[in-house]
Amino acid sequence: MRVYFDNAATTAIDDDVLQEMLVVMRENYGNPSSIHADGRKVRTIIETARKKVASLLKVSPAEIFFTSGGTEADNTAITRGIKDNGITHVISSPLEHHAVLHTLEELAKEGSIKLDLLNVDTLGHVDLLQLEELLKKNPRTFVSLMHANNEIGTLADIEKISNLCISYDALFHTDTVQTMGHFVHDLSNLNVSFLAGAAHKFHGPKGVGFLYVNHRVKIKPFIHGGAQERNMRGGTENVYGIVGLAKALEIAYEHMDEHRTYIQGLKDYMREQLIQQIPGISFNGEQDLEKSLYTVLNVSFPPTDMADMLLFNLDIAGISASGGSACSSGSNIGSHVLTAIGVKPENPSVRFSFSKYNTKKEVDFVISKLKEVCLEKV
39-43, 77-81, 328-332, 343-347 — which is least confidently predicted?
Answer: 328-332
Q: Is 51 exposed, middle or buried (0-12, 13-18, 19+ CB in 10 A)?
A: middle
**Predicted confidence band at 331 (pLDDT cuts at 50, 70, 90)?**
very low
**303 has pLDDT over 70:** yes
Span 102-122, average pLDDT: 97
**57 has pLDDT over 90:** yes
Q: What pLDDT score was predicted for residue 330?
A: 44
Q: Where are the domains of the chain?
A: 3-11+255-375, 15-254
Q: Are 171 and 85 in contact (CB under 8 A)?
A: yes
Give residue 73's identity as a one-letter amino acid code: A
Q: What pLDDT score was predicted for residue 305?
A: 61
**Predicted confidence band at 334 (pLDDT cuts at 50, 70, 90)?**
confident
Q: Which of 164, 239, 327, 373 is catalytic?
A: 327
Span 251-271, average pLDDT: 98
DSSP string, 174-222: EE-TTTBTTB---TTSS--SEEEEEGGGTTS-SS-EEEEE-TT-----S
Domain 3-11+255-375 class in CATH:
alpha beta
SS3 90: strand
Span 18-31, average pLDDT: 96
For 238-272, b/e burial (b = at least 16 CB within 10 A) is bbbbbbbbbbbbbbbbeeeeebeebbeebbeebbe
**17 has pLDDT over 70:** yes
Residue 352 half-sphere exposure toward CB, CA atoms < 13 A: 24
Domain 15-254 class in CATH:
alpha beta
3-state secondary structure 53-79: HHHHHCCCHHHEEEECCHHHHHHHHHH
SS3 362: helix
More confident residue, 91 or 326: 91
**338 has pLDDT over 50:** yes
Residue 61 half-sphere exposure toward CB, CA atoms < 13 A: 11
The mean of the pLDDT values for the chain is 94
**377 has pLDDT over 80:** no
CA distances from 295 to 123, 207, 319 (A): 17, 21, 17
Sign (positive or negative) of CA dihedral 310, 314, 316, 320: negative
All residues at 6 or more sequence positions from 262 whose CB lies less than 8 Å from its CB, including other chains: 356
Sign (positive or negative) of CA dihedral 117, 118, 124, 128: negative
Q: What pLDDT score was predicted for residue 306?
A: 60
Q: What pLDDT score was predicted for residue 199?
A: 98
The question of whether 374 is a catalytic residue gets the answer no
